Amino acid sequence: MPPAFTSRVMNTLSTRSAGMARLLILSAGVWAGIAFDATATFGQTSTSQLTSREELSAAVSRAEQSGNAAQAAAFRARLTGGDFQPGDRIILTYFSDVIHTDTLIVREGRVVDLLATKTVLSLQGVLRSELKDRLTTELLKYVKAENVTATPLTRIGVLGEVAHPGYFAVRPDIALTDAIMIAGGPTGSADLDRSMVKRGTAEYRSATATREAVAKGLTLGQFGISAGDEIVVGKQRTFSFVGRLLGVAASIAAIYVAVSHANDN
């Protein structure tokens, strides 16, 4: 090949290598931040981070305007049925002479047994952001309770290209990336852009929607993830060594043609 062409190819490859290096450094910084945030995963739930009834109503309107009927229906179901499913756990803590801590398990019919009051409380139609007020109101009917806190935990799956795939009881106000870190973080062959959410055997959130949610820093609750849903981290596409060589050769040939065409003009 002509020396001038060779020089241009080397300059092009050098520029691409520098760009790749910058991308790798940026990715490392992002994952370091995720790992740091994940250390605070199991702290107290902040009500302001849980999706409110007003936010859900607005989300229904946006979904309808964009023509996403399935998403609009899912949001409406939360507004009418609430956020809690059988198997969910709630860590209830309050002060009454001494500090009391109870673990409430949501049973069939979306009800929980309050040990302090020996009553059954329905959570039908109750959102996670409304849980503390609902429990506080019920407790105060029977005991003089102060400093009431309620931390809802939802059991979800984090599967695919993560270090420790499995099912975990997590807070709904943690970011999607934090949920991935709880499962040990992505493997070396993971591709977050190809991740998605499954509900049962069907796709619930597409790779595109999941990628946008990760970029926006949405929480599990804001993304509509419920008990039993599975976050499936995608895998990178693999190419054989010969395929990579052919790809490089094709790229060099394309560059040569482009440069030759430019010189002719």
Maximal C-alpha separation, the chain: 90
Q: What is the mean pLDDT of residues 224-251?
A: 75
Higher pLDDT, 33 or 83: 83
Pairing of strands 202-205, 190-199: antiparallel
**pTM exceeds 0.85, yes or no:** no
Residue 39 resides in a domain = no
Higher pLDDT, 39 or 265: 265
User: Is 56's pLDDT higher than 50?
Assistant: yes
Residue 107 counted as domain residue: yes
CA angle 42, 100, 119 (to 5 degrees): 105
Which domain does 71 fall in, by range?
A: 53-153
Do the domain assignments include residue 236?
no
Given a cut of 70, is residue 99 above it in pLDDT? yes
Q: Residue 55 to residues 23, 128, 170: CA-CA distances in angstroms?
A: 35, 13, 22
Q: Provide the domain count of the chain.
A: 1
Instruction: Tell me the two tokens of residue 87.
Output: 């198997």
Report the distance separating Cα 19 and Cα 108, nearest Å. Answer: 54
Mean pLDDT of the chain: 79
Percent of the chain with pLDDT over 70: 71
Mean pLDDT confidence for 29-43 = 39
Residue 241 has pLDDT above 90, yes or no: no
Domain-embedded: residue 251: no
| 147: in domain | yes
Backbone angle region of 169, left / alpha / beta, with phi > 0 → left and psi within -120 to 50 → alpha: beta
3-state class (DSSP) for residue 185: coil
Q: Does residue 132 sit within a domain?
A: yes
Q: Is residue 134 part of a domain?
A: yes
Q: Given pLDDT bands bounded at 50, 70 and 90, which one contains residue 221?
A: confident
Q: Kindly tell me the sign of the dihedral angle through the C-alpha atoms of 54, 55, 56, 62.
A: positive
Task: Tell me if 253 sits within 8 A of 261, measured CB to CB.
Answer: no
Q: Rounded CA gap, 263 and 265, in Å?
A: 5
Please give the pLDDT value at position 47: 47
What is the pLDDT at residue 254?
54
pLDDT band at 176 (very low <50, low <70, confident <90, very high): very high
Tell whether 230 is covered by a domain.
Answer: no
CA geometry: angle 236, 239, 244, nearest 5 deg: 125
